[in-house]
Structure 1
Amino acid sequence: MFIHGYSQCGLSFLRQHALADNFRVIIPDLRGHGQSDKPLNVDAYDTSTSWAHDVRAIIDTLTLQNPVLVGWSMGGWVVNDYIRTFGDAEIAGLALVGSSITTGRMLPPAALAARTNNPDVAATAMRGDDLAANLTATAKFVQVCFSTPLSADDLAFMTGFNMLCPPAVRNACRSRNEDYRPSSANMTKPALILWGQHEQLAPAPMGEQAMDAFPNASALIYENSGHAPFWEEADRFNTDLSAFAAQAFSQIQGAAA
C-alpha cells in the first residue's frame, strides 16, 4: 500500500503501477487530498487516530493480509500513526521514503532548520487563501521535491493535483508535532528507510534518526534523487522495493509454516 505525501495524491505513484505485475498494489488518496473527502476541521488531521483508522479501514475493506506499508514524506507519518495505534502484528513490514519518525518541533535540529529556512520547502503561501500566491508556492514546492527540473507537462500535472488539497487541510497537516520513536522501538517487522542524496524536504538527519529508531531497519540512498526517488530513479526503486517486499512476505509465510 503506497501512501502519498503532503498535498499530493495517489497519482504521485504512477511509476509504481508496473509493480502490479507481481504484487497487489493499493494506492489510496489520503483524507483531505486528491479525490477523497475533505473535512476542514483541524481535528480531522492533527492526531494519529483518524489517519491510523483510515489505513485500517482500507486493510479491512480490501481484506489485505499482512501488507507492506510504503509511506512517502507525510505518508510515512501516517504509517507511523498506524503502528502507534495498531502495532505491527497485521503488516509484513514498512518502508519510509523521504520521511521521518519525528515531525514539526520534534525533528532533529539540523533538519528542522533546513526545512524552515528554505522558502520553497516551507511554502507558507500554500496554506493561505490568496489563490495566485498559493498556486505559485505550490508549483515551487512541487519542483523542490525533485533534484532535476521537471518537464513542463509533469510540473503542470503535479501542480494540478496538489491544488486539490485545500489550504485549511494543508495547514492542519503541517501543524503536527509528533514523536513516533517509542512505537518504532517496538516494531518486530522489517523497516526499509529510503531517501535521496539531494533531499531538501527530508534531509539525511531525518533518515538517520529513523534508522536508529527501528530495531530491524535497513537503508538505501539514491544518489540521483531528491525527495522522490520513486519517480527520479523509478526502475531502481521498484527493484529495491520488490526485493524488500518479497523478503518481508517470505518471513510472514515462514512464521506461519
Structure 2
Amino acid sequence: MRNILMTVSYDGTNYFGFQTQPDGNTVQDYLESAIAGLTGEIVKIHGSGRTDAGVHAREQPFHFQTNSQIPIERWRLALNGRLPSDIRVITAKEVPLSFHSRRSAKQKTYRYTINGNRIPDVFQRHYQTHHPGHLDVEGMREGLSLLTGTHDYTSFASRHSTKASHVRTIYHAWIEVDHSPANSGSDEQGVIHIYMTGNGFLQHMVRIIVGTLLQVGEGKRQPQDMKRVLEARDRAAAGPTAESKGLMLWKVEYEDAILMD
C-alpha cells in the first residue's frame, strides 16, 4: 500500500467546493473519478481542508492510499489528461502511511483579493471582489492586526459551524496593494490582497473577517472595533460574509520530517 500526496490547483468558479457534496460537482469528485479511471481503484481522497463553492485554490494538498505501482513521476500528466481544464495536479509525492493532509498540516495561508479600481479587470473578474468606492487601507491594516494571536473566533465563524471549539491561532495577517497597470484598465486604489496564515480556519472565517474589514475601510467601523467584535464571540457583531470568488487557498505547509520516508 502506498500513500500519495498531491497538490492541486483549481478555479472554483464552476464547482460546489472541494469536498464531496450530495449534489456532486465538486473538485474531489473529479479527482476521485480521474484516479479511478487511471488505476481502476475506487479511492477516497483526503484534502487539507474544504473550500466553499466558488472559492479557488493555488495549492490544495490531498492524499490517498493506493495499490497502484504507477511511478510517482507519471501521476501528474496521467491525471491531468483526465481532469477538466480548470483543475490541475501540480505536484505528486509518496509519503509515509502515517501522513494525513489535514491532521499533519502545520499552517495554512489564505489570500482574499479586492479590486479597488473604478473599472473591474475583465480577465480577473472570477478571482476578485470589485469595490470601486474609497477604502481606508491603513485602517484595514490596523484592524486586521488586532486579530492575530490565539483567540475564540466565534464572531467570525458561520452560524452553521459544527466545530466543538472556535479557538484558532492566526500567526500572521497582512495587506499588500498592487498598483500595476497590468491588473486593470484603471489604477485608482489598485488591487488589494489580504493574507492570513493560521493553524486552521473556521467555516467562512476569512470571508467574514474581510467583510468586517471592508466596513472599516468604508468608515462604517473604526479599526479598534475589530477587537470588540472578536471579544463579543457573537456572529451578529461582525460584518457580512464577503463574496466567495475573492478567496483563494494560497498555501498549506508541513514539517519536512513528516513528509520524509
TM-score by length of 1: 0.29
TM-score by length of 2: 0.28
The structure with the largest alpha-carbon Rg is: 2
